[in-house]
Structure 1
Amino acid sequence: MESKELVTLTAKACDEKRANDIVILDMADVSLIADYFLICEGSNERQVQAIAREVKAQAEENGIEVKRMEGFDKARWILVDLNDIVCHIFHKDERSYYNLERLWGDAETVAVEGIEG
């Protein structure tokens, strides 16, 4: 699966669990870490965990290996590493503190059709 398809799949998984403010950053020209960062937030710990579970489930259903998932227990910032895509799922209170969009401000924002962000 191409990176663009995978980031779309990931965004839709987040959207299915009512993730708020979904932002996709094209990291290809900015970092060697990943092709895309997907950043979103949930309003409480249970929602943040539900979003992460859905991302993991959708990836595995499509034969994509989840390299690592960090921060699940505390659910303040869960990072789901899908190799070419890194999904950052924040608790709403943490997102503005870390402000990854500003930190990676050189990255272009990508729109995904059918996803409100």
Structure 2
Amino acid sequence: MENKAKKFIEIDTKEKARKVAGWLDDKQASEIIGIDVHEVCPIAEIVMVVTAKGVRHSQALADHILGMLAENKIEYLGMEGYKSGDWILLDLNDIIVHIFQEDNRSFYNIEGLWSEGTQIELDS
């Protein structure tokens, strides 16, 4: 039997969240938070919310995350909202990343939606 190399690495969810937070911080994202939702959400373990300075900044943040995921051989499932850039959602399988413009972040209040979760420390 041929031994095939894995296409993606296995990585701990909290470690992945810390890496993503670091990549976001590298590109001047603000108000980066992570919420552990594994007990209250059937589709993810961590929800991350971040604020971008504008549409081009949010697109640049999404591009940077996808580039770093590829470079580190970390799997992701999809992305929504890139074209408008007002609210970009990245599905990293066990982590959902929401990149918002400031006004949209307060309007949609993702942190309030997941208030049953526990905020986690993301300092790398």
Distance in structure 2 (CA, Å) of the matches to 1:68 and 1:112:
23
Q: Which has the larger radius of gyration?
A: 2
C-alpha root-mean-square deviation of aligned residues, in Å? 0.9
Q: TM-score, normalised by structure 1?
A: 0.93
Q: 1:72 aligns with which of 82, 88, 102?
A: 82
Indicate which of 89, 97, 100 corresponds to 1:87. Answer: 97
Cα offset, 1:66, TM superposition: 2.0
| C-alpha separation in 2, matches of 1:33 and 1:109 | 17
TM-score (norm 2): 0.88
Q: Structure 2: give runs of 5+ residues left out of the alignment.
A: 1-10
Q: Does 1:100 align with 2:83?
A: no
Q: How many equivalent pairs are there?
A: 114
Q: What does 1:14-29 correspond to in 2, within 5 Å? A: 14-29=24-39
State the partner residue of 1:8: 18
Instruction: Give distance in 2, aligned partners of 1:58 and 1:32.
Output: 26
CA distance in 2, matches of 1:5, 1:98: 27
Structure 1: which 4+ aligned runs deviate by more than 6 Å? none
CA distance in 2, matches of 1:93, 1:16: 22
SS of residue in 2 equivalent to 1:39: strand
Matched, 1:52 2:53: no
In structure 2, distance between residues paired with 1:40 and 1:98: 12
